[in-house]
Structure 1
Amino acid sequence: MTYKIVFFDIDGTLVNEEKQIPADTVKAIAELKETGVEPVIATGRAPYFIKSLAEEAGISSFVSLNGGYVVYKGEPLYSRIIPKSSLEALVKLAAEHKHSLVFEGEHAFFADTEDHPFITESVMSLKVDMPGYNPDFWRTDDIYQVFLHCESKDEHLYESLLNELKLIRWHPQAMDVLPAGGSKAQGIEALLDKLGLTKEEAVAFGDGLNDKEMLEAVGFGVAMGNSHPDLLPYADYVTTDVNEGGIRNGLIKAGLLKG
């Protein structure tokens, strides 16, 4: 199979724990582009969290917000928002349990609590700006994703919402909240359809729990050597660690770069 497009997760895949792109990864992507294969970012991050990283990697297209907002070469292509009724139910339940929320829109994100330690710890781990404070942001703007701040022992408190919403843990104190059935795969499928490509012509690299559907939505799914153990069964190949040439080695295995 000749692959024509490659999707890259960011955290733990394109960037390491210090949120830096290894020099070898930047070079590998540049070499990939020279072959005519399209590199695309596929991340849980919002667009305003990835601009500088995308520029450094030389990538102009992205699937962001876990498939909720897709841009191809600067042009918006696909969007998926959380229904207001589902947000209202989430806000009510989180307030009952005193759990803080961060609402992610297309251009900005806002918290419903000021100076909450869980928000500070989780958002700072991404090395991005902190959210503003606007507890009513979800009422006035389209929301693509929410950060729900609670520990794993409290996840069961939200079981009543699982018919409407999907929860994916990405930090000890935080989970992504998406519409039920939401995933990176939705955005990837929309982009492949736009480009007239089949899933068999696509490759994807990931490392986290939100990458399961993505690895299944392509012809060749690559898990990083530093991946969450639960992701590995979904991968066609497990490459090396992000800091040990994981991207280059995976592209070589896919036949897209020479060893």
Structure 2
Amino acid sequence: MKKPIVFFDIDGTLLNDEKKIPDSTKKAVRLLQEQGIHTAIATGRVPNMFYWIQKELNIDSYVAMNGQYVVFEGKEIYSNPINPEMLQSLTTLTTNNGHALAYCSHLDYKVSKSNHPFIEAGFDSLMMPYPEVDEEYYKHLPIYQGHLYCNRKDAQLYFDQFPEFSFVKWDDNAYDILPKGASKAVGINKMLEILDINQEDSFAFGDGLNDLEMLTMVGTGVAMGNAVPEAKAAANVITTSSSNDGILNGLIQVGLLDKELVLI
């Protein structure tokens, strides 16, 4: 029998309220790896936003930018860049409307405006500095995901005008921009194919709206105690919060870790 695989979201899942990895999570991931269980990250973030997490947890496989870019054991296995002409149209419209974008490549991310309050608020929520500005970044590298920064009322304009995209809210005035049909679940399927692991032997932990497809697609979806109601409804199991040993408790709940072994 093949060993299972566990996918972990980052914000609100691997990271607690202080954007740190709890000691209990570090221990839980290490115990999985000692059993030969595969561990991977599944996130909306750009890879260079979570290198430090990979290093701390000894994880070299990931599904980044909500399934748009997938790496297994350090090697790219799937990528799905956005059409540059569509990005040009988005850029023109947001510029005309006084809104802003972020462009996410596999190497880095840039934003279209300086000193934009919604960009500042979004990156403050991640406890990260304001990104570099380059409104033509999409012309130089493949872009796998965008961010739209505007309020909910104005966002409807983009929902209506760009039906080719999905807009997934991740902060009060910030939305991930993805090709329609893209999700973490798509990227996870690519990794399951590489490993020849059955869907029922896959597990995923998450807390946000961008985790819904992932939580329902894997064999066992685990929602954090701090998850949005939609994620809890989509999951098979609900654990404690990311700041209250949620990863460790969830792995015990689904039978991947032995409670007695954890106490040693």
What is the TM-score with the length of structure 2 in the denominator? 0.94
Distance in 2 of aligned mates of 1:239 and 1:2: 25
Distance in 1 of aligned mates of 2:189 and 2:153: 34
SS state of the match for residue 115, structure 2? coil
Match of 2:135 in 1: 135
Match of 2:221 in 1: 221
1:86/1:164 contact within 8 Å kept: no
Match of 2:173 in 1: 173
CA RMSD of aligned residues (A): 1.5
1:124 positional shift? 2.8
Match of 1:148 in 2: 148
Distance in 2 of aligned mates of 1:149 and 1:107: 21
CA deviation vs aligned residue, 1:121-146 (integer Å, no higher than 9, x gap): 21232233432121111122210111
1:90 positional shift? 1.6
1:3/1:202 contact within 8 Å kept: no
* Runs of 4+ more than 4 Å apart: none
1:112 positional shift? 1.1
Match of 1:187 in 2: 187
1:227 positional shift? 0.2
1:88 positional shift? 2.3
Within a 5 Å distance, the mapping from 1:1-259 to structure 2 comes to: 4-259=4-259
Q: What residue ranges of structure 2 are gaps of 5+ in the alignment?
A: 260-264
2:17/2:242 contact within 8 Å kept: no
Distance in 2 of aligned mates of 1:236 and 1:139: 42
CA deviation vs aligned residue, 1:37-89 (integer Å, no higher than 9, x gap): 01100000000100001211221111111011111111111111111232122
Q: Flag the 1:235–1:78 CA change in 2: closer, same or farther, 3 A.
A: same
Matched letter for residue 143 of structure 2: I
Distance in 1 of aligned mates of 2:245 and 2:27: 11
Deviates more, 1:46-55 or 1:161-170: 161-170
CA deviation vs aligned residue, 1:203-242 (integer Å, no higher than 9, x gap): 0000000000001121000000000112112100111111
Deviates more, 1:200-209 or 1:236-245: 236-245
CA deviation vs aligned residue, 1:149-204 (integer Å, no higher than 9, x gap): 11223221112244211100101121111111110011100010111111111000
Distance in 2 of aligned mates of 1:144 and 1:229: 28
SS state of the match for residue 243, structure 2? helix
2:9/2:43 contact within 8 Å kept: yes
Percent of aligned pairs with the same amino acid: 42
Distance in 1 of aligned mates of 2:234 and 2:169: 18
1:3 positional shift? 5.9
Deviates more, 1:32-41 or 1:121-130: 121-130
Matched letter for residue 70 of structure 2: V
Aligned length: 259
Q: Flag the 1:178–1:141 CA change in 2: closer, same or farther, 3 A.
A: same
SS state of the match for residue 215, structure 2? helix
1:2 positional shift? 7.7
Distance in 2 of aligned mates of 1:82 and 1:237: 34
